[in-house]
Structure 1
């Protein structure tokens, strides 16, 4: 993409911003020799460090993503040998645990997290409102009245 999407293409604009952020963080890891580490791994790693091994469902709830998203991320982390899976209390449950490779990288992962948090705070200073606060407000507004309802009320109707 050569420039930002048009402002009315909200979904495209949100994806564009997220892709910029993720690409920059991924570059930080790549420059440090970790080309197979993805920014989306960090919330799961941090949850596993803080709370120990847990099921994919519990991990999804802990980090605030769908079970499907957590399962896909865990699969990618397993392929890169950052986590291992074991059977839970029943055959369907899979318990996620960090591997020694991941625990060896914890100082770098934590350092990146802290530096990224500081960089986001610096970015926030350039904005009229911190990005996280704006996104939390958007989330709350959509929970009160979903976009689907707003679209219908805007006049789409049953075409």
Structure 2
């Protein structure tokens, strides 16, 4: 390549998506670190926002609310617990379930977290002006298309067509 920066092959879409996510999340993490929130991760914000809006949630409900897998929500909640940002307590209505809730430490950080979130939204809006279409809209379109026909089916059909 002639450019000073090397990018993943655009045909390797998964690699390119991970690269873009690393660029976005990595820079947001640096902002948190610069603001004295080194233990806070960008992946915590959707969970914080869900817990603020809904109150204590089971990991399953947190996953549904945030739009991630149960495993991803469980990992995020565990990381947040290690950082002292959430607790896991028995559900008073169902002792088999545990509820994730924000700690006083997390609530004390909310003004800084919310300010960073607003700055991130503004920065994303600025980035969107440089793109042919807003990134969030494109990703939503991709998710909807994959809901209609999973990628596994598309790959299998293309594979069968080559045999």
Q: What TM-score bracket applies, with the shorter chain setting the length? A: over 0.9
After the TM superposition, which parts of structure 1 deviate over 4 Å for at least 4 consecutive aligned residues? none
Alignment match, 1:86 = 89
Counterpart of 2:47 (choices 44, 48, 62) is 44
Aligned positions of 1:30-69 closer than 5 A: 30-69=33-72
**What is the aligned-residue RMSD (CA, Å)?**
1.6
Distance 1:46 1:107 in 2: 12
Q: CA deviation at 1:158?
A: 9.9
User: Aligned equivalents of 2:119 and 2:160: distance in 1?
Assistant: 45
TM-score with structure 1 length normalisation? Answer: 0.94
Instruction: Compute the displacement of 1:32 (Å).
Output: 1.0
1:149 to 115, 134, 153: 153
The match for 1:70 among 73, 92, 108 is 73
Q: Distance in 2 between matches of 1:28 and 1:79?
A: 21
Aligned position for 1:19: 22
Superposed displacement of residue 72, structure 1: 0.5
SS across alignment from 2:48: helix
Which residue does the alignment assign to 1:110?
A: 114
Q: Find the residue that maps to 1:86 and give its secondary structure.
A: strand
Cα deviation digits, residues 43-99 of structure 1 (max 9, x gap): 110111111112111111111111111010000000000001101133431111111
Aligned partners of 1:30, 1:156: CA distance in 2, in Å? 49
Q: How many residues align?
A: 158
Structure 1 gap ranges (5+) = none
